[in-house]
Each structure stands twice: as C-alpha cells, then as structure tokens.
Amino acid sequence: MILTVTLNTALDITYRVGALHPHTSHRVSEVTERAGGKGLNVARVLAALGHEVTVTGFAGGTTGREVRERLTATAGVVDALVPVTGPTRRTVAVVDDRTGDTTQLNEPGPTVSPAEWSAFQEAYDTLLAGASAVALCGSLPPGVPVGAYAGLVRSARAAGVPVLLDTSGEALRRGVAARPDVLKPNAGELAELTGSHEPSRATQDARRRGARAVVASLGEGGLLAVTPEGRWRAAPPARLRGNPTGAGDAVVAGLLSGLVENLAWPDRLARATALGAASVAAPAAGEFDRATYEDLLGRVAVTGEATAA
C-alpha cells in the first residue's frame, strides 16, 4: 500500500470559460468538482496506474463530508482522513479556453487544534506499518506546526518507509533537513529554498541540505534529477495545451510508483514526465489522459549519466 498525506485537503472546483477578462462577468461552460489537495491528486493517479493507495490528512465540515463522499467513489483509494471541527477548504481554478492559462484561488484551510494534530500523528504512525512508501504533499493548514513535515519524515524513516516530500516555504526548508528520500520542488520552490535560480546548481544545493534525491519540476522544461545513482534531465517531446493544475501531482505519482516498482531512475523520470504532460490534457487535477500518456512515454528524452560505482 502507498500512503499519501494531505494535511490541507480541499474540494477542488474547476471552471472553464471562453476567455478570462478581469472586472467582467463570465459564463462558465463547464464545472468540475473533485476531492482535492496535492496528496489526493497523487492518490488518484496512483490508483489509475493500478496501485493500492490510502489517503490521510484532515477533513471537516460540509466540504469535508463532500470530499469523503467523492473519495468513496474512487476505485483503489482508501479513505483514512482524520476528522477536524473546522471546514475543509475549497480551491477554485478558472481555465481560460482561449489561452489555456489557469487562474487559481486557494482558501487557507481549517484551524487544526493540538488535540486534532495529536490524533493525526497517532493515525499516521499506525498507517506507516502497512505502507511501502509515503508522499507528504501540499501546504499546512492553520494550527499545524511549521515543522510538521520534518517530524513526519523522521517517523517514516524510523519505520523504514521511503518518503517523498512535496511542499514549499518554511515547511520545505525544515522538511528537507529531516532527510527525505526524494524531494520534489518546482522551480520557484527550489529557488526560494536555495537562493539560486540556476536549476542545476540549486538542485545540487537542495540535496546537500539533506534530501537523498532531488527531482526538480521545471514546467515545460521537464524534470531535473540529482540522486545518489546519477544525474538526469527528462523532457517531454512537445508542449501540451490544457490545464496544468495537478501536473506536479502526476509527476509525484510517477516518481512514487517507480520507486515501489524498483524502476531505474531514467525509467522513473520518463514515467513521471509523461504523466505530468498527460495530466495537462485531462479536464481536472488528479487525472491524466491515458492515450496521451502511453504515446509520450516512449518519446520522453532522458539524458544524463549514472554515478560510477
């Protein structure tokens, strides 16, 4: 079983409009609602790849109930969310069909009490006993300690479970020092962590800060990986138009599935890159267009070299 952690779950709402113009009214051509938050998006992609996945984190209020109802209908995903008093947040993505650009609005999330945080930690430790890998994903809701991910990384390492961290800001800075097996920042998060806007240098610096392997997501530029086994760059063959929301989560699913399947790093990166690109062609986060994925998988260019033994 693969475990994904989403401390700040959400009800993701995606609106499609013909063209987005500030200060005007818009007619929405399509509305999509999904159980969301980064780890839940990762879980849906993993389940579509055939993996058994358990999701945990927090859920509360009316939106929390709706998130859990939608999870129940998702084949291959087990709900182990911990209840909280405050309402789960909503996120709104507005997709401009003319340009393909997406505007994102994210609520902060419920305030988590110390007792609720303790209940989550107990549930997490129990779930680790049956996990083959764990992904720690997304922002922290109010009330959760800023060093939360660092503690969860250490718990996973103590349990012998490989752990991937995908977060930002101070939570990222503290989390990387706890030595996760894989760190997956995007270009902006990487620059904020290291102070460098040069991806190769910044990726190496991030690894020196504690991560065993760093896989940086560079948008249209693909993935840059620095690992104990070598260094590689993976790039999609072409830019796809669509909704990029959730592309990074599909990348995480590709990396995590490759890890538990013991794929070589170049194969992991090819899968993750193809999944990220194919998710752009899907209508909402946590999905990917399978035909696009299968077409891209054999055409992703992976360059680099293994470290000499």
Q: Could you list the active site residues?
A: 249
Q: List Cβ neighbours of 180 (8 Å cut-off, separation of 6 or more).
A: 136, 153, 163, 164, 165, 210, 211, 212
Diameter over CA atoms, the chain: 61
* Pair 306, 229: CB distance under 8 Å: yes
* SS3 assignment, position 242: coil
Separation of first and last alpha carbons in the chain: 32
Backbone angles phi, psi at 304, to 5 degrees: 140, -160
Backbone angles phi, psi at 17, to 5 degrees: -130, 155
Q: At what angle do helices 265-280 and 290-297 cross, to 10 degrees?
A: 140
* CA 219/CA 256 separation, integer angstroms: 19
Angle at 257 (CA atoms; ends 180, 262), nearest 5 degrees: 80
Report the 10 Å Cβ neighbour count for 308: 5
Chain length of the chain = 309
Cα-based distances in Å from 263 to 255, 260, 279: 9, 8, 21
